[in-house]
Structure 1
Amino acid sequence: MSPTLRGLPAALLLLLVLATGLFSGDAAAARVLLVTSERSGAHEETLTAIRSALVPGIPTSEIGILEPSQVENGALAGSRIIVTIGTEAAQVVTSQSPRQPVLHTLLPRDAYERLPPATGPGRSSAIFLDQPVQRQIALITEALPDWRRLALLAGPRSQPLATKLAAAAQEQQLTVNIENISSERDIYPALQRLLADRAVLLALPDSTVFNSYTIQNVLLTSYRHRSPLIGFSPAYVRAGALLGLYSTPTQIGDQAAEAVRMVLAGGGLPPPQASRRFEIGINQNVAHSLGIHLEPAAEIAARIIRRETKP
């Protein structure tokens, strides 16, 4: 016994040994291995949703949980499928070049596309955190049919996305203006140009432009120009965005569990995709202040779903 452990009370030592053995056994014997970037917030909600959706079809003893720091040589061996939750977990697991199928969740599409290639075809897939381009444009045309101008403020990482959004918007006869910026100091003058004529400002998942330090100034500027902002999370709606379009951790977790069951039944991973289910958040106070009438979120969502499922 090591000198460090020798001084521990017997009862505490027994608990420590049992806890370590149980944790290692769970991970080693797991058919399904969940690797999560964090044990809090949306990551924990997604993890809980996946486990809840898999049980009781899969015993909890066959579902292992690891954090990135615990992913070492051999830690991934023995599982039938690996599910990562968050970008850090995806990067760490991919660096190990696992041989089994890996499903990445709770990460943006661009983060998935930057991962190294999988070790074989069909061994990697993802459920993206961000929403499909067509769904974002459908939200504008369904919720705000009288608004025909779209403003996009893009940073270095979101310029390709802005181009795709512009193309989809133009197919719906929207006028699109894009401002590309390279740093936070460019945000205000770019917004002044974008919103010289009132437009819907669609937030892009680019930390250069939209982050916890810039969002309040972006919201205030758009509000002063009487231009609504559409965000990509409930937090944006609470902060002052008119609308938000997002998938919840539970929705992503349920879809991930469905893919896991398919693999365990002998099938393959589905192709990389966005969550099929989504939510629309509405800030009625902002709508009232801007003089905008919005239908209930459920009605708007139903029309978007009909668009997506139309043959």
Structure 2
Amino acid sequence: MQAVKSLTAAALLRTLMALAYLTVSPAAPAQDTSYPPVYLAGSGNLALDHHIQSLLERALEGQNNLVLISDEQAAQANDGPIVTLGPGAFSRIRQINREAPVLALLVEPDFLEGFARRSSGHISGIYHGATLLRQALIGKAILPQATRIALMATSGTAEVYDELIDQLQAYQLEARLFVVDGDKQLIPTLNRALSYGDFLLAAPDNTIYNPRTIKHVLLTAYRRNRIVIGPSQAYVKAGSLASGYAPFPAMVEMAEDYLKSFFESGEFPRPGYPPQFRVEINEQVARSLNIPLATPEQIIRNVELRLKEHGGQVDE
């Protein structure tokens, strides 16, 4: 009888110890540790975040675990790279965890290039617009008679056009840069630019093209019977005639390659544009200016043919 009581007491003690362990050490969610993690910091747009997450999960299947993380979790994420969606997510992650390698999606060069230059290999990105050369050739496809392109920048952002100006010579196009010195000079400088160019090519330069100025730029161009190409889909909706952009699947495919390179070498390639692009068109603006339009697919084929004829030269 005493032996039975001893066994019962021992069993009870073991049960209590097990319960105590479970209380202080809750089981973590099951996770496959055979693949290194890739973390994802969303933009806050739930539909967009879910779409990109689904594309990334399919792309990384069998290679990496994709883990959606909160800002608090990102502070401790030191065992894998973080993919950020949009400039807001990138900025948050950089403030929270400056040691984490970051691959930025849905950003433009004027936002990311400084970070990438200072942290080469550690910070990179996939741009969601189109190269300036492609944007220029989109304008040429829409206006086949065009030979001159107007460009605007501040003295601090003028270098963004340097490579493009050299490249255009091979396509029988020339460009002139008009420098804006202060807000009061924007419209006078724009008028000079529109007098020169067959169309205005807008780069993703937030100092010139931003929500505060774009209405004035587009209305001035419209009154001068000139079109604006670029800098993004959002500005096409506002009144630019057309803009190239990178489709989501192409961005994710390139991101997969960048992540693979990171896990192989410990570094990301330089930021860049996906090789595929699409064209957004504002048909209402085209009708208002009496400009006949080809389909977006025809414009893309025209641009790709011109690039192929010149060895596929594209700007970074």
Q: What TM-score does the superposition give when structure 2 sets the normalisation length?
A: 0.74
Q: Deviation at 1:118?
A: 7.3
Map of 1:112 onto structure 2: 112
Could you tell me how far 1:32 is from its partner in structure 2? 3.1
Change (3 A) 1:276 1:41: farther
Aligned residue for 1:280? Answer: 279
Match of 2:59 among 46, 53, 69: 53
Q: Is the CA contact (8 Å cut-off) linking 1:109 and 1:130 kept in structure 2?
A: no
Q: How does 1:212-291 map to 2 (within 5 A)?
A: 212-261=211-260, 269-291=268-290
Q: Residues 138-177 of structure 1 correspond to what in structure 2 (within 5 A)? A: 138-155=137-154, 157-177=156-176
| 2-structure distance, mates of 1:88, 1:133 | 24
Q: 1:180 to 1:137 in 2, by over 3 A?
A: same
Matches of 1:33 and 1:284 in 2, distance apart?
41
Secondary structure of 1:245's match? strand
What stretches of structure 1 of length at least 5 have no aligned partner? Answer: 1-16
- C-alpha contact (below 8 Å) 1:157/1:206 kept by paired residues: no
Whether contact under 8 Å (1:36, 1:43) holds in the other structure is: no
CA pair 27-76 structure 1, distance change in 2 beyond 3 A? farther
**1:34 and 2:39 correspond:** yes
Deviation of 1:194 after TM superposition, in Å, equals 1.4
The question of whether the paired residues in 1 share the 8 Å contact of 2:104 and 2:126 is answered with yes
Note closer, same or farther for the CA distance 1:174–1:182 as it changes in structure 2 (3 Å cut): same
Aligned-partner Cα distance in 2 for 1:164–1:144: 22
d(CA) in 2 for partners of 1:70, 1:48: 21
Q: Give the 3-state SS of the residue equivalent to 1:178 in structure 2.
A: strand
2:98 is matched with: 96
Output the amino acid matched with 1:64: V
CA RMSD of aligned residues (A): 3.5
Report the Cα distance in structure 2 between the residues aligned to 1:145 and 1:246, rounded to whole angstroms: 21
Higher alpha-carbon deviation: 179-188 or 262-271: 262-271
Deviation at 1:301, TM superposition (A): 0.8
Q: What does residue 14 of structure 1 align with?
A: none
Q: Give 1:264 deviation, angstroms.
A: 5.5
Against the structure 1 CA distance between its residues 157 and 148, is the aligned structure 2 distance closer, same or farther, given a 3 Å change threshold? same
* Corresponding letter in the other structure for 2:82: I
Gaps of 5+ in 2: 1-24, 312-316
Q: Which moved more, 1:271-280 or 1:110-119?
A: 110-119
Indicate whether 1:77 and 2:78 are aligned: yes
